[in-house]
Amino acid sequence: MLSEFSLIDRYFARRARTNTRRAVLGIGDDCALIAPAAGEMLAVSTDMLVEGRHFFPDIDPHALGHKALAVNLSDLAAMGAQPLGFTLAFALPKPAEDWLAAFSAGLFELADRYDCELIGGDTTAGPLNLCLTVFGSVRQDVALRRDAARAGDDIWVSGTPGDARASLGLLRGEWQVNGQTNEQDAAHFRRALEYPEPRVALGLALRGVARAALDVSDGLAGDLLHILERSNLAATIDVDSLPISPALARLPRDVQLQCALAGGDDYELCFTAAPGQRAAVEAAAQHAGVRVTRIGTMSALTSPQTAPAIAWRDAAGTMLNLTLQGFDHFHAD
């Protein structure tokens, strides 16, 4: 029977100690030492995941390991930053070997795919809580900020937002699996919820092409509003142009829109670019192997007193009155 120390050491600390390419010191000293590439800045983001709020108590620990890092890499993607490393702090009620084995496998499979090294951490007993801080490297002048959008920019989104929220709705019984939404669709939704793919390659390819960007974690509508507020602009979205997955398209239209616009947990990129960059955006998406869709346009505020807001219309240009309910965990950002 391994002690708690040995268990954690087996799955995390030894691995971190052997990571010496980028981090001069990893777990085992008081601090890790890292540096961004020459002439670049270090991009830093931190996310905390709590049981019952960010994941169900019965989540597969492999999926949890994946998702905990994925949501952090997604923040790097949204800045156009190249992943370098991460720290992992977690509280566990009691370390179980099979849980740690599966969790670390999910975590490191994703970390290895993006060449992102574990450089330090902390573990303690306590109610299950995961806190990751991720580090990337980006040149300051090409970082994809939220305040860089301009009037006339196209608004783009990657992938097919809404699928993770569709899974949550099925799991919560908000809507039912029916003749149209079969088990295959449910599995597709579940995968979107548990194994979101951070759009790192797309973020890197969009440097110098896109203007503003963020990752969609709390729902496309609410997150786009962050760009509007920071850039002091309004937006018009063509609801009929929203990319809806075939699975989501088999649910009722009002559920599709609720999921795609106010769902949360998508980890797709929403970004703006000048109309003259359309071919460059498509090329970046093709290079990254990710679908992107043009869904609307940024515009100037009609007066300095106008609050940034989103106007919704359909393909025929008719204005729509949508009532959206946001994702319900509370966030500082």
DSSP 276: G
Least Å distance, CB 101 to its own copies, is: 16
Q: Which of 225, 220, 199 is nearest to 72 (CA)?
A: 199
* Pairing, β 310-313 against β 268-273: unpaired
Q: Which is nearer to its own copies, 36 or 256 (CB)?
A: 36
List the x/- string, 244-283, binding to its own copies by CB under 8 A: ----------------------------------------
Which alpha helices (DSSP H) does 122-218 contain, by range? 163-172, 183-194, 200-205
Q: Which is nearer to its own copies, 131 or 257 (CB)?
A: 131
Q: Which is nearer to its own copies, 32 or 295 (CB)?
A: 32
Least Å distance, CB 300 to its own copies, is: 22
Q: Which is nearer to its own copies, 23 or 251 (CB)?
A: 23
One residue of 90, 99, 108, 156 binding its own copies per CB under 8 A: 90
H/E stretch holding 44: strand 41-50
1 binds its own copies (CB under 8 A): no
Query: In the Cβ-directed half-sphere of 202, how many Cα atoms lie within 13 Å?
Result: 27
- Applying the rule CB under 8 A, the residues between 282 and 321 that interact with its own copies are none
Q: Which is nearer to its own copies, 44 or 187 (CB)?
A: 44
89 binds its own copies (CB under 8 A): yes
How many residues of this chain interact with its own copies, rule: CB under 8 A?
73
- Applying the rule CB under 8 A, the residues between 125 and 184 that interact with its own copies are 125-127, 129, 131, 133, 135-136, 138, 140, 143, 145-147
One residue of 50, 142, 186, 274 binding its own copies per CB under 8 A: 50
Least Å distance, CB 277 to its own copies, is: 20
Which alpha helices (DSSP H) does 40-182 contain, by range? 61-79, 97-113, 163-172
Least Å distance, CB 289 to its own copies, is: 22
Distance CA 191, CA 189 (A): 5
3-state secondary structure of 253: helix
Q: Which is nearer to its own copies, 135 or 312 (CB)?
A: 135
Least Å distance, CB 261 to its own copies, is: 20
Give backbone dihedrals phi and psi of 157, rounded to 5 degrees, phi first: -140, 145
* Pairing, β 82-92 against β 117-125: parallel
One residue of 2, 44, 300, 309 binding its own copies per CB under 8 A: 44
* Pairing, β 213-216 against β 117-125: unpaired
Task: List Cα–Cα distances, 246 to 23, 161, 186, in angstroms.
Answer: 43, 12, 12
Give backbone dihedrals phi and psi of 245, rounded to 5 degrees, phi first: -65, 155
Least Å distance, CB 213 to its own copies, is: 8
- Applying the rule CB under 8 A, the residues between 176 and 215 that interact with its own copies are 213-215
57 binds its own copies (CB under 8 A): no
Structure token pair of residue 81: 């930053």
Distance CA 268, CA 270 (A): 7
List the x/- string, 92-131, binding to its own copies by CB under 8 A: ---------------------------xxxxxxxxx-x-x
Q: Which is nearer to its own copies, 172 or 330 (CB)?
A: 330
List the x/- string, 2-41, binding to its own copies by CB under 8 A: --xx--xx--xx----------xx-xxxxxxxxxx---xx
Q: Which of 92, 99, 94, 31 is nearest to 62 (CA)?
A: 99
Say if CB 41 and CB 137 are below 8 A apart. yes
